[in-house]
């Protein structure tokens, strides 16, 4: 089974599925949903089978495929996964079908409770087609073992996310989409210069240029050149992660994106940055990584505290969740640049657990917005009395996000802190303050929305109760304002479809909180190999 081209199939199936869905005749929206869900489930099955075929005690890169692409420039269509990439593919395979299920009504005119004229041109066919194309690009960026191929996927995945935000997002969607695209494009262009520089260095040392990762990590690059190349990759990854002060695009993009897009943006796309630190910065530029580590650690700790403080001041639920993610990325960067096995393993586990916990939190926030028609925390109150199941899932998501013991995020955060402390005690102690702030901003949001007196959120146009809709959270989501004489919304509890969407994530929050070894056995060998490339001793 290990000879089957799993990675090629995991890219080709959603890419072809996207083309088929986009080509469907107008009016076949139900078929578009069904095909999209079916394609994403096929990818999930392929991902699980790939994980079964993966040997944790075997070669570092497995399930490999390599075909000459541009031979004159040493470019191959080369794919392969280590344990770090594999767990990210598992996260993608899980989240995409859940996002499609949660976004069952996204993109449809009037689905978010606003007049159809306000959402003219938003075809569900293209909404789901962009989601599937984004899935193909995300698989490619984590599976690429050719640096040039990685760069191609890194840039290509911007396109579907740009359209998801720009066509299906909130009132300021155009501004958010352009800001997202420009930030990422600038970072990508800087990385392209470093990729070209790396090719030139390889040509001077090997006699011919190459982009193959295995060949590049054996190069003996001058420390001064390493620093320049490191910075080229680092800036692109720091923007994508994002690290403070390169973070300002994320709150706007996550707030204006439809909930399905926001889940994938924060749950997966941003992990490309931290993945890039591990896959490329540390092994290819070990001397430069050690040289710049103190600076990166300062940025990481500042990000933990600064983003947490900003999260506490947010009145918009989606922006609050976005700022919590920036704070969490600070912990991940701390774990990576502490250069210890425990911390780096915890950082990779944190990448997966953050995708699960924050993905769940974004989905629940979207379900709340779809019912109340507002993103403002102050427009809600007493929801738990009317929708106890929604409140219960919201609580689980919140507790996982603040890393309560027994939830999945606790183990990863604990590993980062215990692994970082021996090498970086000051940074670790300061970062720990972020845990206290996390408890404040999560619990305050939950308390204000789920408990207390019911707020005067007006019912969306067309009736006392919001229409049956998925967590759109897109255009018009902030157009419904409170008024003293407004009729309060009768909040529906979770539907069977919504329960089916959130249940896998709730289960994983608990299972991985109790038994994290399921992922640690996959992750640790790849982390050890990465630190060996760096020359780290722990």
Confidence of residue 489 (pLDDT cuts 50, 70, 90): low
pLDDT tens digits for range 20-62: 999 998 888 889 999 999 999 999 999 999 999 999 888 999 9
Q: Beta partners for 66?
A: 78
pLDDT tens digits for range 147-157: 999 999 999 99
* pLDDT at residue 349, rounded to an integer: 96
pLDDT tens digits for range 281-299: 999 999 999 999 999 999 9
Cα–Cα distance between 148 and 127 in angstroms, integer? 29
Q: For the beta carbon of residue 277, count every other beta carbon within 10 angstroms.
A: 24
Residue 48: alpha-carbon gap to chain centroid: 19
* pLDDT at residue 146, rounded to an integer: 95
Are the C-beta atoms of 372 and 317 separated by less than 8 Å? Answer: no
Structure tokens at 498: 């919504």
* More confident of the two residues 481 and 53: 53
SS3 content of the chain, % helix, strand, coil (to 5): 70, 5, 25
DSSP labels, 388-420:
HHHHHHHHHHHHHHTT-TTSHHHHHHHHHHHHH
Cα–Cα distance between 304 and 327 in angstroms, integer? 4
* pLDDT at residue 371, rounded to an integer: 86
* pLDDT at residue 147, rounded to an integer: 95
Instruction: Please report the sign of the dihedral spanned by the C-alpha atoms of residue 18, residue 21, residue 23, residue 27.
Output: negative
Are the C-beta atoms of 290 and 350 separated by less than 8 Å? Answer: no
* pLDDT at residue 119, rounded to an integer: 42
Element (H, E) at 232: helix 223-240
- The length of the chain is 538
Cα–Cα distance between 86 and 279 in angstroms, integer? 13
* More confident of the two residues 479 and 371: 371
Q: Where are the domains of the chain?
A: 6-534
Cα–Cα distance between 358 and 355 in angstroms, integer? 6
- Using alpha carbons, select from 375, 537, 397 the residue that is nearest to residue 472: 375
pLDDT tens digits for range 175-204: 999 999 999 999 999 999 999 999 999 999
* pLDDT at residue 2, rounded to an integer: 62
Choose from 20-34, 98-112, 353-367 the range with maximum mean pLDDT: 353-367
CA dihedral 318, 323, 329, 334 (to 10 degrees): -160
**Looking at the predicted structure, is the pLDDT value of residue 120 above 60?**
no
Q: Beta partners for 68?
A: 76
* pLDDT at residue 468, rounded to an integer: 37
**Looking at the predicted structure, is the pLDDT value of residue 123 above 80?**
no
Q: What is the mean pLDDT of residues 472-495?
A: 52
Phi/psi of residue 77, each to 5°?
-85, 85
- Using alpha carbons, select from 287, 377, 293 the residue that is nearest to residue 335: 293
Structure tokens at 43: 């990818």
Please state whether the peptide bond connecting residue 242 to the residue before it is cis, i.e. omega within 30 degrees of 0. yes
Confidence of residue 1 (pLDDT cuts 50, 70, 90): low
Cα–Cα distance between 62 and 103 in angstroms, integer? 34
**Looking at the predicted structure, is the pLDDT value of residue 309 above 70?**
yes
Element (H, E) at 111: none
* Residue 448, C-beta contacts closer than 8 angstroms, at least 6 positions apart: 377, 378, 380, 381
Q: What is the mean pLDDT of residues 231-238?
A: 95
- Using alpha carbons, select from 66, 14, 52, 10 the residue that is nearest to residue 36: 14
Q: What is the mean pLDDT of residues 493-499?
A: 92
* pLDDT at residue 475, rounded to an integer: 40
Confidence of residue 116 (pLDDT cuts 50, 70, 90): very low
Q: What is the mean pLDDT of residues 10-29?
A: 93
Distances (CA, A) of 33 to 28, 94, 129, 442: 9, 17, 10, 33
Q: For the chain, what percent of residues have pLDDT higher than 70?
A: 89
* Residue 155, C-beta contacts closer than 8 angstroms, at least 6 positions apart: 185, 188
- Using alpha carbons, select from 43, 96, 505, 126 the residue that is nearest to residue 260: 96
Are the C-beta atoms of 84 and 279 separated by less than 8 Å? Answer: yes
Query: Dmax over Cα atoms in the chain, in whole Å?
Result: 78
pLDDT tens digits for range 324-356: 999 999 999 999 999 999 999 999 999 999 999
Structure tokens at 413: 């955060």
Mean pLDDT (the chain) is: 87
- Using alpha carbons, select from 407, 412, 376 the residue that is nearest to residue 255: 376
Are the C-beta atoms of 249 and 323 separated by less than 8 Å? Answer: no
Confidence of residue 534 (pLDDT cuts 50, 70, 90): confident
Choose from 19-28, 135-144, 421-430 the range with maximum mean pLDDT: 135-144
Element (H, E) at 76: strand 75-81
Confidence of residue 73 (pLDDT cuts 50, 70, 90): confident
């Amino acid at each position: 089974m290990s000879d089957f081209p799993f990675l090629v199939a995991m890219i080709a199936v959603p890419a072809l599925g996207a083309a088929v869905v986009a080509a469907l005749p107008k009016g076949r929206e139900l078929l578009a949903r069904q095909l999209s869900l079916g394609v994403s489930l096929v990818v999930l099955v392929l991902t699980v089978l790939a994980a079964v075929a993966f040997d944790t005690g075997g070669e570092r890169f497995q399930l490999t495929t390599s075909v000459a692409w541009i031979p004159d420039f040493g470019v191959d269509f080369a794919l392969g996964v280590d344990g770090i990439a594999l767990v990210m593919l598992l996260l993608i395979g899980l989240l995409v079908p859940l996002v499609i299920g949660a976004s069952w009504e996204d993109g449809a005119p009037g689905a978010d409770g606003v007049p159809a004229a306000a959402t003219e041109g938003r075809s569900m066919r293209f909404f789901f087609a962009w989601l599937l194309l984004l899935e193909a690009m995300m698989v490619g960026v984590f599976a690429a073992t050719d640096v040039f191929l990685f760069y191609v996927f890194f840039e290509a995945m911007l396109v579907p996310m740009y359209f998801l935000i720009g066509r299906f997002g909130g009132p300021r969607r155009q501004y958010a989409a352009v800001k997202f695209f420009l930030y990422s494009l600038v970072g990508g262009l800087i990385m392209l210069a470093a990729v070209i520089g790396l090719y030139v260095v390889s040509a001077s040392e090997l006699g011919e240029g190459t982009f193959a990762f295995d060949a590049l990590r054996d190069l003996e690059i001058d420390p001064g050149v390493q620093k320049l190349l490191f910075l080229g990759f680092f800036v692109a990854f720091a923007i994508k992660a994002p690290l403070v002060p390169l973070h300002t695009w994320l709150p706007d993009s996550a707030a204006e994106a439809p909930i399905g897009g926001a889940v994938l943006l924060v749950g997966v796309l941003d992990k490309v940055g931290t993945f890039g630190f591990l896959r490329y910065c540390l092994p290819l530029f070990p001397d430069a990584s050690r040289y710049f580590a103190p600076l990166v650690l300062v940025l990481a700790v500042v990000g933990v505290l600064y983003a947490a403080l900003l999260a506490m001041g947010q009145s918009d639920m989606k922006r609050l969740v976005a700022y919590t993610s920036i704070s969490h990325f600070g912990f991940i960067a701390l774990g990576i640049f502490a250069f210890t096995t425990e911390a780096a393993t915890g950082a990779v586990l944190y990448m997966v657990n953050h995708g699960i916990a924050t993905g769940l939190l974004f989905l629940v926030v979207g379900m709340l917005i779809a019912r109340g028609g507002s993103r403002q925390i102050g427009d809600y109150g007493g929801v738990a009395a009317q929708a106890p199941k929604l409140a219960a899932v919201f609580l689980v998501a919140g507790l996982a996000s603040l890393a309560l013991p027994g939830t999945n995020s606790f183990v990863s955060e604990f590993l980062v802190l215990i692994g970082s402390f021996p090498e970086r005690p000051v940074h670790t102690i300061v970062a720990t303050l972020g845990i206290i702030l996390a408890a404040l901003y999560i619990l305050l949001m939950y308390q204000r929305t789920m408990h207390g007196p019911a707020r005067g959120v007006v019912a969306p146009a067309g009736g006392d109760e919001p229409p049956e809709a998925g967590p759109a959270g897109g255009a018009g989501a902030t157009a419904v304002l409170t008024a003293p004489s407004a009729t309060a919304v009768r909040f529906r509890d979770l539907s069977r479809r919504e329960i089916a969407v959130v249940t896998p994530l709730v289960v994983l929050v608990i299972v991985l909180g109790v038994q994290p070894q399921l992922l640690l056995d996959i992750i640790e060998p790849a982390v050890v190999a990465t630190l060996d490339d760096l020359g780290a001793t722990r």
